[in-house]
Amino acid sequence: MLNIEKYGAVDIGSNAIRLLVATVVEQEGKDTIFKKTSLVRVPIRLGADVFLEGKISESNAKRMIDAMMAFKLLMKTHNIKRFRACATSAMREASNGREIAARIEKESGLAINIIDGNDEAAIIASTHLKSLISDDKAFLYVDVGGGSTEFTVFANGRAVSSRSFKLGTVRLLEDRVDDRMWDDVEQWIKLETKGYRKISMIGSGGNINSIYKKSGKKIGKPLSYFYLSSYYELIKSLSFEERITELDMNPDRADVVVPATRIYLSAMKWSKAKNMFVPKIGLSDGIIKSLYNEKIATELEVN
């Protein structure tokens, strides 16, 4: 006997807003299946407003409201049973972030949870990420976003340390990252990974997913430091226009991919990781898993 429901998750990031629709299939005596059914991405670059002006512009606020209204209709069409929207660094730092969230809820009926970096890392960690973490290996998990990057060290099958830094792709493009931030990240990574003889990296975020797809690697096979370094030199040598025309990138990817790759490469260098696994998970996947875990907890309480 199967129990099938659809869940919705909205990730409001500094570079884009995403709606993930997932089909959750419960089967008696077996593991629950989480299947990505639909993913809609709208490149509203909130970070360009916030990191320069300190607030979300009226034009982008209206675009956000339109996007959320559209997402509401899509979720209605999908017959979504459970839903949550989470906003990260751009809305968190915007002086009018909570005001915009209230406007969106009033007009669309969809509430937005503005979360901090530690919450973001914890939500992502609730995904099937742990199935990749073996007890006898150490991993540095790196999630690069537009406004911040979350780092988590896993060892002995569990998270042992985690930190969020205001080092993001849009923030770097807008020249809003001090050199001292790079120094802080380097010191933290070296300190937290120095006790492990061999460490691998796990990368998440739209940019590394795009790079992995273009690499042609079979699912489950890692990217090497050498490959990523070569790719970085390639994209740096091309202009913004050439990345669009020659590498077939979307315009909103063609600029942020350069600083994103720099962050991943730096993390690999400082942790001495030679390989990076790319499981294609992110905040929206974590939201889906969190919604499911809450459902199970509620059912246990009732019973």
pLDDT at 77 exceeding the cut of 90: yes
| Percentage of the chain modeled with pLDDT above 70 | 97
Q: For residues 114 and 93, is the Cβ–Cβ distance under 8 A?
A: no
Burial code (b: 16+ CB inside 10 Å, e: under 16) for 38-55 equals: eeebbebbbbbbbbeeeb
Name the token pair of 111.
Answer: 């509430």
How high is the pLDDT of residue 137? 86
Which has the closest alpha carbon to 142: 158, 164, 171? 164
**Left if phi > 0, otherwise alpha if psi is -120 to 50, otherwise beta: which for 29?**
left
Q: In angstroms, rounded to a whole number, what is the distance separating the alpha carbons of residues 72 and 50?
A: 25
pLDDT digit string, tens, across residues 260-278:
999 999 999 999 999 999 9
pLDDT the model gives residue 282: 87
Q: Identify whether the C-beta of residue 199 lies closer than 8 Å to the C-beta of residue 140.
A: yes
Q: In this structure, what token pair is assigned to residue 296? A: 């199970």
- The confidence score (pLDDT) of residue 254 equals 97
Per residue in 106-142, pLDDT tens? Answer: 999 999 999 998 888 888 877 766 667 666 789 999 9
pLDDT at position 191: 97
Which among 61, 164, 157, 152 is positioned nearest to 117, based on CA atoms?
164
pLDDT digits (tens, 9 = 90+) for 143-177: 999 999 999 999 888 889 999 999 999 999 999 99
- Span 209-247, pLDDT tens digits: 999 999 999 988 999 999 999 999 999 999 999 999 999
Predicted model pTM: 0.91
Pick from 36-45, 50-59, 96-105, 126-135: least confident:
126-135
Residue 125 burial class via C-beta count within 10 angstroms: exposed 0-12, middle 13-18, buried 19 and up = buried
User: In the prediction, which pLDDT does 8 show?
Assistant: 98
- Picking from 4, 124, 104, the residue whose alpha carbon sits closest to that of residue 46 is 104
The arithmetic mean of pLDDT across residues 82-87, rounded, is 97
Domains and CATH numbers, the chain: 2-117 (3.30.420.40), 129-281 (3.30.420.150)
* Phi, psi angles (nearest 5°) of residue 302: -65, -40
Q: Which helix (H) or strand (E) holds 143?
A: strand 138-144
Query: Exposed, middle or buried by CB within 10 Å (0-12, 13-18, 19+), for 122?
Result: middle
Q: Beta 158-165 vs 149-155: how paired, if at all?
A: antiparallel
pLDDT in the model for residue 129: 67
For residues 277-295, one letter each, b for 16 or more C-beta atoms within 10 angstroms of the residue's C-beta and e for the rest, the string is bbbebbbbbbbbbbbbeeb
* pLDDT value, residue 136: 75
Token pair for 15: 């570079």
pLDDT of 125 reads 73
